[in-house]
Structure 1
Amino acid sequence: MIPLRAKATWHIRTGVHMERSSRRTREFGGEIRILLLAEDSLIRVGITALLQMADDLSLVAETQDEEIAHTLALELAPDITVLSASAETPFRGAVVERLSAVSRLVYVGACQPDVAHQVITCGAAAVFDPRGRPQALPDIIRVAAANDTLIMPTCGPLKMTRIPTATRASEERDLPLAPDALTNREAEVLLLLAQGYANQEIANKLSVSSATIRSHVHHLLTKLSVRSRAHAVALAYESGLIRAVEQGLRQTA
């Protein structure tokens, strides 16, 4: 059965353009529902056109206003909020934190690794630099919606990129917890998360079930006092925990 064309409507209170579709919602294994925040109208039109080409992605609302975006995220509960930054709108951590608290956030914009690191630390699920392959955005959204996997910006082929570990003690924060506070299995899972692997991939590598990996990830987030896998990896790299865990596993091997 061919799905009906989505019908455009208007949010009565805010005047925001919204889409209504007859296709199944993600609750039933269907499309990924997306909210788009982009101040630049040209960028907004481009991202909208790109998303509308994908059958499994549904743009439920778009706006250029941060306050309206937050209200819509609360009302519509999208699977993903896409925040597009432009040269005229530099990174604002408060906006990322606020939107990440109510929806998984994909940050789209040309930014250096240090800025991308800040975005992830503020709670974003993914950071995507569109300069190399802008058409890869739908794939980034799918990965973020399915796995909350850390994705760092790249101008070359689409790939997972690790956040650089601080090389000098003066650049590192205090460890968020002692490395021995993690079990060996949790330490292994953390290192694989840092390499961009999804739950099922980690399960395959460690020869356990994906449910077991979800349990380990939950324990990691609790011990690190963070909300997302992406934030856990960013914190582990920034503080030097990754290096300490690697050394600990080598010593026990």
Structure 2
Amino acid sequence: MTGAAQVRVLVADDQAMVRGSFRLLVSHAPGTTAVGEAATGAEAVDLARRERPDVVLMDVRMPELDGIEATRRITADPDLDGVRVLILTTFDLDEYVYAALRAGAAGFLLKDARPADVLAAIDVVAAGQALLAPSVTARLVAEFARRPEPGRPPSRVLDGVTDREIEVLGLVARGLSNVEIAEHLRVSLATVKTHVGHLLAKLHARDRAQLVIVAYETGVVASRGTGD
């Protein structure tokens, strides 16, 4: 991102050492800059409103207000349109990921991710994409797919969505990138982008994270296989 505008990052975590580590990483990397630290969810919301960062690195377990509710308040605030939330998680907190995505998070990242992966994740989210780290996504998706999902909304949510688009939706939910979907379906990248664009419009989804929510809630992942 040399020569481009700096991606402004807010770090929210109740552990000072974790906050400091992420802030140092972001501050010393080309293309990113840290605009503040928050030790609670409430502080994260207040700082987001004051600083208008491009990306918030958000921990889940924090005092006063947890990261999920803080994410919900940030993404629901029309004045913070464009602020993207990247949830920091660990595998023993997998149960929070689904709630975080429903709250409007753009994606999630393991706390023990390599520095290069953290910076790449920030760039991906800042660019308006979602659900990074395919290997992590695949494991989380597999976990959710094994869980019963009572009370799914009626399948009419998918009215107007073509069979091919449903197939693409399932692959998006598995964490595949557009390039990987194109290879899997043996179609062009442009065709995949068109399908994803149609899905976003038809399902009134803000980004790929929201598409994954629809895929889970309508049973696309569990009931319509997406394998070869």
TM-score class normalised by the smaller sequence: 0.7 to 0.9
Give the match for residue 234 of structure 1.
Answer: 213
Partner of 1:19: none
Classify the secondary structure of the residue corresponding to 2:145: coil
Instruction: Return the alpha-carbon distance in structure 1 between the equivalents of residues 225 and 162 of structure 2.
Output: 13
Q: Secondary structure at the match of 2:199?
A: helix
2:74 to 88, 99, 121: 99
Normalising by structure 2, report the TM-score: 0.74
CA separation of 1:44/1:219 partners in 2, compared to 1, >3 Å: closer, same or farther? same
Distance 1:43 1:89, change over 3 A: farther
Instruction: Find 1:112's aligned residue among 72, 80, 93.
Output: 93
Q: 1:182 to 1:107 in 2, by over 3 A?
A: same
CA contact (8 A) 2:44 2:70 kept: no
Alpha-carbon deviation of 1:151?
4.3
Rounded Cα–Cα distance in structure 1 between residues aligned with 2:28 and 2:69: 31
Structure 1: distance between partners of 2:206 and 2:156: 16
Q: Check whether the contact 1:125–1:144 (CA below 8 A) recurs between aligned residues.
A: yes
Identity among equivalent pairs (%):
25
| Counterpart check, 1:130 vs 2:106 | no
SS of 2:137's partner is coil
Partner of 2:131: 150
Once the 2 structures are TM-superposed, how far is the Cα of residue 53 of structure 1 from its aligned partner? Answer: 3.6
Task: Encode CA deviations 1:171-202: one digit per residue, 9 max, x unaligned.
Answer: 35124535563113312321221122233443
Q: How does 1:1-80 map to 2 (within 5 A)?
A: 24-26=3-5, 31-64=6-39, 66-67=41-42, 69-74=44-49, 76-80=51-55
Contact 2:200 2:206 in 1 (8 A): yes
Greater Cα offset, 92-101 or 113-122:
92-101
For 1:97 and 1:85, locate their aligned partners in 2 and report how far apart those are by CA, in whole Å: 12
CA contact (8 A) 2:41 2:62 kept: no
Deviation at 1:124, TM superposition (A): 0.7
Residue 137 of structure 2 is aligned to residue 160 of structure 1: yes
The 1:144–1:92 alpha-carbon spacing in structure 2 relative to 1, beyond 3 Å, is closer
**Could you say which residue in structure 1 is the equivalent of 2:196?**
217
3-state secondary structure, aligned to 1:78: coil
Distance 1:56 1:105 in 2: 18
Specify the code of the residue in structure 2 equivalent to 1:114.
Answer: E
Deviation at 1:167, TM superposition (A): 5.4
Whole-angstrom CA distance in 1 between matches of 2:205 and 2:171: 18
TM-score (norm: length of structure 1): 0.68
Please tell me the residue identity of whatever aligns with 1:40: Q
Q: Which residue of 2 aligns with 1:4?
A: none
Aligned pair partner of 2:121 in 104, 128, 140 = 140
Structure 1 residues 56, 214: closer, same or farther in 2, change over 3 A? same
Q: Is the 8 A contact 1:176 1:224 kept in 2?
A: no
- RMSD (CA atoms): 3.4
CA distance in 2, matches of 1:92, 1:71: 13
Runs of at least 5 residues in structure 2 that lack an aligned partner in the other structure? none
Tell me the amino acid that sits aligned with residue 107 of structure 1.
I
How many Å apart are 1:74 and its aligned residue?
4.3
Change (3 A) 1:79 1:45: same
Contact 2:57 2:86 in 1 (8 A): yes
CA-to-partner distance for each residue in 1:126-182, whole Å, 9 max, x for gaps?
Answer: 122324x353322322333346232489xxxx64324222554x6351245355631
Offset at residue 95 of structure 1 (A): 1.2
